[in-house]
Amino acid sequence: MTTAVADQDLQALDGAMRAAGQKRLTQREIRQAFTGACPALAAAPDARARLQALLVALAGRGVIRLPDPKRWDDSQPPPLPTSVELLRDPAAGPAEPTATWLPALAFAAHERHPARRDTLLQINRWLQSAPVQEPPVPLRERSLHIFGDERWLDAFQSPDGLFDGRLPSALLGVVDPPPPLAHEMQPAALGAPLMVLASLASYHSVAGWNRETRALSAVVYGGGPALLAATEALQQLAARAGASALFYVGDIDPDGLAILDRLRLAVPALQPHPALYRWLLQHGRRAPLPGGPVAPVPQAGWPANLAAAIAALFAAGQRIAQENFGSRELRGWPAGRQAGT
């Protein structure tokens, strides 16, 4: 069933939205304009349906642009757009002249997709307004600054960056913040080694042990990609802890070794913990290696005897999980400052 709309309500809502002085309004701002312009409709039981009908009618008249259907809020019926773009007011005079693109946005002159071109136009205007220089901010903050919608630029991201890598993040003053680094520092053990555990279970056990022994300046949880994205944070933590050494313990399998190799490219000081890996190779329960025997050679940083033992383990088609060294084994592990060696 179509909800009827009146011209006076359309004009009132259009005027109220334009009074905000923004080209793009969020759903909250649209609702505020609706309440101020059409109080009787906003108080009606079917207020959401009436607002939707007004917005669809305004879009039909070409005075606003609605977002892609994927960007509508369907948490309640009927769905509402999460934002709208105000197009040129017919009463405002001649249309805006052809844009003068900044050199870094020259590619935008050939952009034919309406949503992409309009987005680039707004970015161009924002850059031309010479915003005050400030430290880089996350993408969603910058999206809010430019569009009044923190998620607007999400749709224009790709693995190569904004607009298929053609718009450098640095141009917008955007930084990609690394994920936080889960860790537990031991202030009473500053200067002692730092240990990184690839397993959450191992992290939990070692962190609890370290509260009693104070053998490590910090215990860090870092599994795979999360730690690879936080290597700078790891180095900063090691500096704050005054760590005398950086040790890593993960599963003894090809994936575990590959992660350590990649980590050491960014953090050369990070080394496999020789005593723990030696214990795992001597006492750990061996499990089948998915895919059968392989023959990877451990990279630099492994003592020769451990490298040979690992190669033999893989050649036999076996792996050892780091969880073999858990809370029970830690009870007999040496305490004090020498535990990390």
- Which residue intervals of the chain bear CATH 3.40.1360.10? 183-340
- Give me the residues paired with residue 272 across strands: 248
Residues with pLDDT less than 50, the chain: 93-96, 336-341
Q: Maximum distance among all alpha carbons in the chain?
A: 85
- Nearest in space to 188 (alpha carbons), one of 218, 150, 158: 218
Q: What angle do CA 201, 202, 208 make, to 5 degrees?
A: 95
CATH class of 183-340: alpha beta
What stretch of H or E contains 246? strand 246-249
Q: What angle do CA 59, 27, 40 make, to 5 degrees?
A: 80
- Which residue in the block uniquely carries the two structure tokens 């953090």? 267
Q: Give the per-residue pLDDT at 326.
A: 87
- Which residue in the block uniquely carries the two structure tokens 């309004």? 25
Q: Give the per-residue pLDDT at 297.
A: 64
CA 231 to chain centre: 15
- For the chain, give the number of residues: 341
CA distance 210 to 286: 27
The first and second tokens of residue 120, run together, are: 């680039």
Extended strands (E) in 91-203: 137-138, 157-158, 161-162, 174-175, 183-185, 194-197
**Three-state DSSP class for residue 298:** coil
DSSP secondary-structure letter at 296? -
Q: Give the per-residue pLDDT at 206.
A: 94
What CATH code would you report for 7-92? 1.10.10
Q: Which CA distances in Å does 231 have to 191, 193, 228? A: 20, 17, 6
- Residue 87 · residue 60 · CB < 8 Å: no
- Which residue in the block uniquely carries the two structure tokens 């903050």? 141
How far the first Cα of the chain sits from its last, in Å, is 75
- Which residue intervals of the chain bear CATH 1.10.10? 7-92
Q: Give the per-residue pLDDT at 336.
A: 40
- Which residue in the block uniquely carries the two structure tokens 């939205």? 17
Q: Give the per-residue pLDDT at 93.
A: 47
Entry pTM:
0.57
